[in-house]
Amino acid sequence: MADLGISKEIFKAKDNTPTATASAELTDGQKACLRLVDDHHTSKEIARLLGISPFTVDQRLDAARRKLNAATRKDAAKIFASLEQRTISEPLVYEAQHLERQQYTASHKGPPSRVEQVVAKIAAHVSVPPIGGERHDLSRKDILVQSLNIAFFSTVAFAFVVAVLTGTFRLFQ
């Protein structure tokens, strides 16, 4: 590993003290990969630094993501970093259930109207992937679903335009 310019310190916990149980279940390789993801490295870069294949990096990160119950590898890296720094605490037993309402009291608008709620609910189900070449954490399945989503709604919009134009032409005949 010395040839690759990386020390064995990545494999050791930063404070050399035991962390939370979820962190203890991770292997040293998974911990090393999570630390490098937290430092904004790609799978290829991590593979070069650790002297392993990118496939192995992805497997380690996926296993760590599942162990930490995270949605993405970046989330898993953030959780692991928090565990190492001991900044994650247990949720309060009597915590208020409606914390999202605080954002409405902070603003002067009040709660959203019925139309805004419907639009937000539809937008949650019909999402569009990011445009502009930004890196994303979409799996192949997510990419396929988003592509089919775009194809379906494009077809519906095109059919609507054709129906409107056909109706307009019949109206003037």
Say which CATH number the domain at 60 has: 1.10.10.10
Contact 112, 120 (CB under 8 A): yes
pLDDT at residue 96, rounded to an integer:
54
At CA 61, angle to CA 56 and CA 63, rounded to 5?
Answer: 95
Establish if 102 belongs to a structural domain.
Answer: no
Residue of higher predicted confidence among 88 and 50: 50
Q: How many domains does the chain have?
A: 2
Establish if 94 belongs to a structural domain.
Answer: no
Cα–Cα distance between 168 and 37 in angstroms, integer?
56
Establish if 90 belongs to a structural domain.
Answer: no
Residue 57's domain spans which residues? 2-85
- pLDDT bin (cut points 50, 70, 90) of residue 105 is very low
Cα–Cα distance between 77 and 125 in angstroms, integer?
27
Within a 10 A sphere around the Cβ of 129, how many other Cβ atoms? Answer: 14
C-alpha 46, offset from chain centre: 19
pLDDT at residue 46, rounded to an integer:
92
pLDDT at residue 13, rounded to an integer:
45
Is the pLDDT at 12 greater than 50, yes or no? no
53-64 mean pLDDT: 92
Establish if 107 belongs to a structural domain.
Answer: no
Contact 57, 50 (CB under 8 A): yes
Closest of 86, 77, 22 to residue 46, by C-alpha:
77
Closest of 14, 102, 5 to residue 45, by C-alpha:
5
Residue of higher predicted confidence among 10 and 66: 66
Residues 110-153 pLDDT 10s: 667 788 878 777 776 766 555 555 666 778 888 888 889 999 99
Q: What average pLDDT is seen over the chain?
A: 76
C-alpha 31, offset from chain centre: 19
At CA 9, angle to CA 6 and CA 14, rounded to 5?
Answer: 140
Cα–Cα distance between 55 and 151 in angstroms, integer?
31
Is the pLDDT at 61 greater than 70, yes or no? yes
